[in-house]
Structure 1
Amino acid sequence: MITINATLGTGLYWRGGQVLEVGGALAVPLTFLLVGCLSWAVMQCISEMLCIWPVPGALGVFVGEFVDEELGIATSIAHWFTYAMSFSTLVPTAAGELDFWPGITGNRLVLGGVIYFLIPVALLFVNLFKVETYGIFEVVSGSIKMLFLVTIAGILIAINRGGKLLTTLLTKTAGPDNTGPIGIKYEDWSQATAFDKNAAGDSWFTALLMCISIATFAYVGVEVVAASALEAEINEKPSNNAPFSRSKRLHVMNSTVKFSAIYIPVITTVGYTISGLLASLDMKRNNCGLPKPTWLSIPYDALSNCTGDGTTDGSRSVFVLIAADSHIPHLDDVVNFFLVFTCLTANSTNLYIASRALFGLASRLDEESAGRWHLRFFAWFGTTNSNRVPVRALVFSAAAFGWIPFLQLIHGIDATSGFIEILGEMASVSTLIVWACECLAFIRFYNCVRRHRKYIELQDVPLVQRWSEDPEKYPEYPYRSIGQPYLAYFALAACLFVLLISNGATLWNGFHWLSFLSSYLTILAFLGLWILLKLERAASWSFVNLSEEIQVVAKLRGLNRFRASLAQSQG
């Protein structure tokens, strides 16, 4: 449910409208489907390693152990940055949703005192509860959000008058005036590849690449099971004070980590694709209220002769616009309330993930902290209180970028919207970097245990017997992801393609500084951090050596001991 809460945020509700405006009706379901397949492929790689080693800061551990130690630290920082930054940038998003109602618009007291200050403090307070209590909050709010998504899909179908939807698509017929129940010309979907030429030039393929980049933000969160996997074991108490058996621990991992890692990307992809398809059937892509790329300097009404009853500032969600254009009394208020609730609960989860990512990094630095002030600084966050809550990491993650929303009070919403969008895009790009690093870590892990499988079996190393010829002796390999290692190579290539090609498609029709910074600043900062760590630690510039079987077995045993020590401390 924590993973669902993180994934079902505002990405679909806000980015879906931007995808529709940039790429047209076909781009909406297509991009959500493509990026969803990518997220599933990435999670196949992560889940196989995570089921073996559910440890704090697992994503950084995997990269550090099987690729490069400094790259692992940089990956952990990037993972923390994603959710700490998302926590701060979603606050202005919530303000934009609340701005829908009269009395909030332009009210500096409400914006500064309530939305920008009290709401983040309240979310911080919720995260201070012990994980069992916080988990109840996640279960309830996640269940409500899934109900909201199903309700919104039902509303979209109802607006299309149910059965007439299929008839319209197949026969391309409509009412006497060629319009549907809310004034939409349904036959416009026969021009499903119409796109914003001011943004993408003369190529729909360029627009599609831009939309893939935009839609990626909606899938930020599918990997967060790695942040909560360890705490999933806390509720499992040994009977009669006896230690857990190995099979019992494997059962815990199979029942918690595996389901979240494998099936939630599928559920999310199906939900996003269907909802996006329904939205594209109910809304013309040139509606004035759809959000446009902020890096375009062209006035909105000049983009595509925008029409419709929506506002001309492009600030509303496509789902709110559809509800408003349906002229059903207060339906837009109801849908907007759904979005506000979704945004705030997702933001609470962002803070949870950021704190666990920072704690996971800090807990591994204790032994290295002596003599290095920056490592001592990070190690200070590697402690928990009596409720096992990493309070220091929690407060720091909330405050690190907490100043960002207040920029809107100082400089105004219009003047800061582009800057805040850059920061939000940077968080999305950071997630892709983490995904790419995890795919590379799995590829090296897979090739390592395959190459040394005989020696690993000879040394009786538990948990990693992927190719054991004696399944009765080694029944314990938790999960074998499908299609490997080819799926991992595909996922790595796809991540790099989105990072380097799709994100850069916004520059193909002219250079824009905002677009360049949002697409590549995070990549440059990540590479710079990796190089800085290499120089500071005087480390080798080569990847970790996985060719020596003795060293490999020692590494695997070390990870198993790390896992066992954590489980024992929980018991």
Structure 2
Amino acid sequence: MLVLGITIVLYVMAAQKGYWSGDGPIQDGFTYNPTFTANKYEALCYVIPIIAFGFLGVETFAATAFEARSSRSLRFPSQTIAYFTLGLYFLCLLGQCLNVSWLSDHLPLIYGGIGDSITDTKDLMNPRSSSLTVIALWDWGQKGLAGFLNGAMIFSVMSASNTSLYVASRTLYGLALDVPTTSRAGRMLHSFSVVVPQTGVPARALIFSAMAFFWLPFVNLKQGYAVQYVSLHFPTLHTTLQANTNSFQLIEIVQISSSVSCLIVWAALSCAYLRYYLWLKKCKDHLQEEYAQFVRSTKTYKPFTLLAFAQPLPALTSLAGCLVVFAFCSATWWNSPVTFSKVAIGYAAPIILLAFFIIFKLINRRLWVRTGTDFTKLSQTLDRLKWYKPDEVSPREEQMEATRVLSPPLAASSTVLGSHGNLESPKFAQVTTSGYGQA
């Protein structure tokens, strides 16, 4: 609703200024700044990651599916969210281009100034906002409305952070669920998978997720606090970062590198689907009777996406797009010296995640799920997929499940519930015993 309201305000503003038919900022077309890039093609590569980051969050339905009452309730949102977001963002972008010139002195620096070695944050003119709508309203003389809108966006961000906290805590829960408890470190990590019996919420994972970056906004209360702290406690590290990093850049590094990590999630989802698709194709001759619903050419197959008929082309396109955006994160140093900050915003998160990935693989002593022609393993996987969807269970089976502790078909361990303390939460037990992280 906020984005829709902003779009309407921008269009009204453009109409009153006569920018719809007159010589407005949008008439300049696609122009690049030679300070940043050498040509318009490099400029396009520069902004593609920024555009992609605007769609972060559309994958959160995958996390909520495990706790949904019915998978059918997620069908319509999962089918429309991407298209709705694209249409709304395009309309808002058009309104911003109608009102704000690319030569405006109020425009924020790209990546907080990390990608610009000439301009500094102190040279920006008020309002120092990253919102083009606030800048447009300020230039229009509606400073009170600009302040109100700025407050509304802060409130919206705080509200959206609850969703991010939910996803982060469930992700940590899934990662910790399979950690062996044979050592002290393993037991400590595994404790993040314990849930509160009354609510089914992984409390420790929730608290840790909330506190992990709780300190970050306070870095910006006074410029230089972060650098002073590093200088006092880590003088060697301070010498390395002093020339390139300040408190503003520290926030920007964490923000952008976290956004890049979401690209890894998108790529992982696409890659997982491709493996699942190829596995079904290898065993298609065995997909009969109760497993016929997984055959895409039959009437019993019920797709959850509008482009399911074109698979695996959308999945391949998604995976390739993630790799392209990931590569374009290096555009900040194509025509300027390479610095620690420029590398960190694009590739700090992937390096850290790769390290954690290798560590967890070594601890679990497990590489990956083999997708061969053995239908026995595939049938076990498909049974679990049906078990995760309550609407796929018959009324008789659902009644039987309600009278006992829930556990997925062919679960690896029968003592999981007892060791995790999830007996009191049957609904969330579907998540806790299913191997959230594996899914």
Q: Distance in 2 between matches of 1:278 and 1:258?
A: 31
The size of the alignment, in residue pairs, is 371
Say which of 349, 354, 360 aligns to 2:168.
354
Larger RCO (CA within 8 A; separation ≥ 6): 1
Aligned residue for 2:427?
570
Amino acid at match of 1:547: T
Q: Could you tell me whether the CA contact under 8 Å between 1:288 and 1:300 is conserved in 2?
A: no
1:466-505 superposed matches below 5 A: 466-468=296-298, 471=299, 475=300, 477-479=302-304, 481-500=308-327, 502-505=328-331
Q: Any residues of structure 2 matched to 1:131-530 within 5 Å, and which? A: 146=1, 148-161=2-15, 164-168=18-22, 174=23, 186=24, 188-200=25-37, 202-233=38-69, 252-254=70-72, 256-293=73-110, 294-295=113-114, 296-300=116-120, 310-311=125-126, 314-328=128-142, 330-362=144-176, 364-365=177-178, 369-382=180-193, 383-409=195-221, 411-412=224-225, 415-457=246-288, 460-461=290-291, 464-468=294-298, 471=299, 475=300, 477-479=302-304, 481-500=308-327, 502-510=328-336, 511-530=338-357
Taking a change above 3 Å as real, the CA distance of residues 348 and 533 of structure 1, as seen in their structure-2 partners, is: closer
TM-score by structure 1 length?
0.60
Stretches of structure 2 lacking an aligned partner (at least 5 in a row): 227-244, 391-405, 409-424, 429-439
> CA shift at 1:520, angstroms?
1.3
> Within 1, Cα distance between the matches of 2:386 and 2:148?
50
> How many Å apart are 1:342 and its aligned residue?
1.5
RMSD: 2.9
SS of the residue corresponding to residue 154 of structure 2 reads helix
Structure 1 residues not aligned, in runs of 5+: 1-145, 169-173, 175-185, 234-251
Q: Deviations over 1:12-52 (max 9, x none)?
A: xxxxxxxxxxxxxxxxxxxxxxxxxxxxxxxxxxxxxxxxx
Q: Which moved more, 1:519-528 or 1:271-280?
A: 519-528
1:388-429 alpha-carbon deviations (Å, 9 max, x no partner): 332222111101222323333573489311011011111111
> Normalising to structure 2: TM-score of the pair?
0.76
Q: Which amino acid aligns with 2:294?
A: V
C-alpha displacement at 1:220, in angstroms? Answer: 1.3
Which of 522, 528, 533 is residue 360 of structure 2 equivalent to? 533
| One-letter identity of the residue aligned with 2:126 | T
Q: Write the distance in 2 (CA, Å) between the matches of 1:404 and 1:300.
A: 21
Q: Distance in 2 between matches of 1:558 and 1:329?
A: 56
Q: Deviations over 1:457-508 (max 9, x none)?
A: 16x337534344xx4xxx36453623101111111111111112x1111121
The C-alpha deviation readout for 1:197-247, integer Å capped at 9, x for no partner, is: 2222x11111111111112222111111122223321xxxxxxxxxxxxxx
Contact 2:58 2:81 in 1 (8 A): yes
Aligned-residue identity in percent: 26
Asked if 1 retains the 8 angstrom alpha-carbon contact of 2:196 and 2:203, the reply is yes
Distance in 2 between residues matched to 1:261 and 1:372, nearest whole Å: 41
Does the CA contact (< 8 Å) of 1:290 and 1:318 recur in 2?
yes
Distance 1:520 1:301 in 2: 23
Deviation at 1:562, TM superposition (A): 5.4
Q: CA deviation at 1:316?
A: 4.4
Q: Aligned letter for 1:394? A: L
Alpha-carbon distance in 2 for matches of 1:390, 1:538 = 25
Inter-CA distance 373–209: structure 2 relative to 1 (3 Å threshold): farther
- How many Å apart are 1:371 and its aligned residue? 0.8
For 2:198 and 2:90, the matched residues in 1 are separated by 43
Tell me if the contact between 1:323 and 1:332 (Cα under 8 Å) persists in the aligned partners: yes
- Check 1:333–1:263 CA distance in 2 against 1; reply closer, same or farther (3 A cut): same
Deviations 1:156-213 (A, max 9, x none): 1111126944423xxxxx4xxxxxxxxxxx1x5333222222222x111111111111
**Amino acid of the structure 1 residue aligned with 2:182:** G
User: Is the Cα contact below 8 Å between 1:426 and 1:522 reproduced in 2?
Assistant: yes
SS at match of 2:199: coil
Q: Structure 1 residue aligned with 2:372, among 539, 546, 549?
A: 546
